[in-house]
Amino acid sequence: MENVEWIAKRAKKAAPTIARATLEERNEALLLLAEALQTKREYLLDENQQDITEAKQKGTAQPLIDRLLLTEERIADMAEGMRQLVALPDPINQVLETMERPNGLLIEKRAVPFGVFGMIYEARPNVTVDACALAIKTGNGVVLRGSGSAMHSNKAIVSVLKEALRQTSIHTDIIQLIENPSREEANRFMKLKGDIDVLIPRGGASLIQTVVNEATIPVIETGVGNCHVYLSNAANVELASAIIVNAKTQRPSVCNACETVLVERSFAEQHLHTIAENLRQKGVQLVGDETAQALHPQIGAATEEDWQKEYLDLSLAVRCVDGIEEAVAHIEKYGTNHSEAIVTEDDRERDFFFQAVDAAVLYHNASTRFTDGFEFGFGAEIGISTQKLHARGPMGLHALTTYKYTVKGSGQIKG
């Protein structure tokens, strides 16, 4: 088993072979790799079963086992995801900007791959496939650090993908898996600045926090979503109810689901009871402040923790506020800069909300569930960035690229 330093160096050394590959070569590689995943599905399922057996022996919770599980259908989906990338335009080798300077210098800003990106993630083996597919399309090398619990699956996937890569002009070393599951090895990985250009953690809050604290490599943070929907007195009630129900219940376990609803006082007095009923019919458990509790007998008491929490289940906190400024202050205090929504028929309120709230995506009269690379039309998604540097919100292929300036001269010197 090799140490991370060697693994990263090998990826860096091989990366130019994919950076130089044409769009056609990269697309052809994607099709070959997708084909290989399906041809070798029996092998992948067998290896995955070893992870599942070990997880069960350890008494792993059922939802985690479900995330770990591969099925024929899931393998077909992963392969299909790879094939869909083929149709997307080339994210690299584009001239983004041209500047002709008075001294005759022709400056061109060109989109180029990062070089090598690192991915640190938890159980789901489909992230392994996604990361490799995105690396190939964007012309990058990738070093993967998955979790020990998915190691048989990840090793099998990577060996199948690398074997398929042998039929192309791209060096197989552009895909690297860290097989040593130790935390110490992971910590050294996060400091390999110079060999790894950017690090993307995918997983829970504690994983992301560790990477942010330990890494010296620049990190793209894909963070927690404590998302709010604010219902103003000027909201349309049918619309408000439909949006809240959708944002909370359509898929409660994801980061763009709503966790707290803020309701302007007189709207709450008139309509909170109805909206709460609609939510309860979908199985939602409500807690709220004193005003909210007084408006519906089934709303329990919210604690400070409820305002902070990313429930990721069918719980919802409700708070009544005196107006948009109090709503914005609540979001400022408890929000995670992910997705925030306002429901109102008043455009001035909408504009104030759009200006004042510091988040990646702000919605007016729509569900927070649309924060997603596919819904934004990017055709792919690397994750949802909750930081402000480089990429914010849903990240498409573009987030895995940087640029360089090339300057053509005819002997210009500085005077």
**What is the binding site for a second copy (CB under 8 A)?**
16, 19-20, 99, 101, 105, 107, 114-115, 193, 197-198, 212-213, 216, 218-220, 236, 238-239, 242-243, 245-247, 250, 350, 354-356, 358-367, 369-370, 375-377, 387-390, 392-393, 402-414
The minimum distance between CB 216 and a second copy, in angstroms, equals 6
Exposure string of 365-375, with b = 16+ CB inside 10 Å and e = fewer, is eebbbbbbbee
Q: How far is the CB of 215 from a second copy (least distance, A)?
A: 9
CB 131 within 8 A of CB 120: no
Q: Rounded to the nearest whole angstrom, what is the least distance from the CB of residue 179 to a second copy in the complex? A: 27
- Please return the burial class of 89, using the count of CB atoms within 10 Å of its CB with bins 0-12, 13-18 and 19+: exposed
How far, in Å, CA of 229 to CA of 363, rounded? 9
Least distance (Å) from a second copy to the CB of residue 131? 18
Query: Within 13 Å, how many C-alpha atoms sit on residue 62's CB side?
Result: 0
Q: Are 196 and 118 in contact (CB under 8 A)?
A: yes
What's at 400, amino acid-wise? L
> Smallest gap, in angstroms, from Cβ of residue 209 to a second copy?
9
Q: What kind and span of H or E run contains 351?
A: helix 347-356
Spatial separation of the C-alpha atoms in residues 336 and 318, rounded to whole Å: 17
Q: How far is the CB of 52 from a second copy (least distance, A)?
A: 31
Question: What is the smallest separation between the CB atom of 263 and a second copy, expressed in angstroms?
Answer: 18
Tell how strand 300-301 and strand 285-288 pair up: parallel
Nearer to a second copy, 123 or 362 (CB): 362
Question: How far is Cα 391 from Cα 398, in angstroms, rounded to an integer?
Answer: 9
* CB of residue 415 to a second copy, shortest distance in Å: 8
Reading the block at residue 261, the tokens are 């609803």
Q: Report the residue number, 116 or 150, with the smaller CB distance to a second copy.
A: 116
Phi then psi dihedrals of residue 189, to 5 deg = -55, -45
R_g (Cα) of the chain, nearest Å: 24
The angle formed by the CA atoms of residues 180, 186 and 187, to the nearest 5 degrees, is: 145
CB nearer to a second copy: give 79 or 198.
Answer: 198
Whichever of 1 and 414 has its CB closer to a second copy, that residue is 414
Beta bridge partners of 286: 316
CA distance 261 to 259: 7
- Name which of 96 and 301 has its Cβ closer to a second copy: 96
Closer of 41 and 350 to a second copy (Cβ): 350
CB 341 → a second copy: shortest distance, Å?
9
Token pair recorded at residue 306 = 């409820």
> How many residues in the chain?
415
d(CA 371, CA 251): 13
Measured between alpha carbons, how far apart are the two ends of the chain, in Å?
Answer: 56
Closest to a second copy by CB, 73 or 414: 414
Nearer Cβ to a second copy (1/413): 413
**Closer of 48 and 140 to a second copy (Cβ):** 140
Following DSSP, what letter does each residue of 308-322 receive, concatenated? H----SSEEEEEEES
Comparison of 283 and 409: residue with beta carbon closer to a second copy: 409
Q: How far is the CB of 322 from a second copy (least distance, A)?
A: 19
